Structure 1
């Protein structure tokens, strides 16, 4: 799910808009990992209203330096892949819908390249 909001919208506010859309579109999803910005009443609200388990992945206080946290690395890695698209590196768009469209475009290009690479390697292997 992608939801681009104005800078003055907090993570918790955006989640109250996005999570019902997620639940409606993807009924089988029952667990959502989130960072510390989503703590508080949102966890209870998601459980009671949407039947979603919102699991907060926190960094412990005794860690120093860079530490890979469980499940959070997936988000960071995905954002890194998306930032390969020049259009997403800077905030060129003035409308949130345009930003969302370019994120979908970037993800589609990434997936298409991977599918093409897989298809090409399978074709080469079948010729051998």
Structure 2
């Protein structure tokens, strides 16, 4: 993730509890490292356990991802970034329609 991309994403992430003096000890990993690891997993289609050693431990990254998904942060981040891309292209922030390819949706029995 470039510095410019991080500047956009950073504000959407929750502030760690220890930084707001709400107790707990400091987290062992920077959120940027965790996001880079999540992007690596999704971009390369690998299993969590197959994450390279350059990233934090896979179970810690997965714990962050699971917590953020449960809090709705993953969806919110997606919506914010989609809105920024659409605005940069001169389109409305929210799409007005969606297309589903019939080959992508399997019919149930």
TM-score by length of structure 1 reads: 0.27
Structure with greater helix share of residues? 1
* Higher Cα radius of gyration: 1
Which structure dedicates a bigger proportion of its chain to strand? 1
Higher RCO (Cα < 8 Å, 6 or more apart): 1
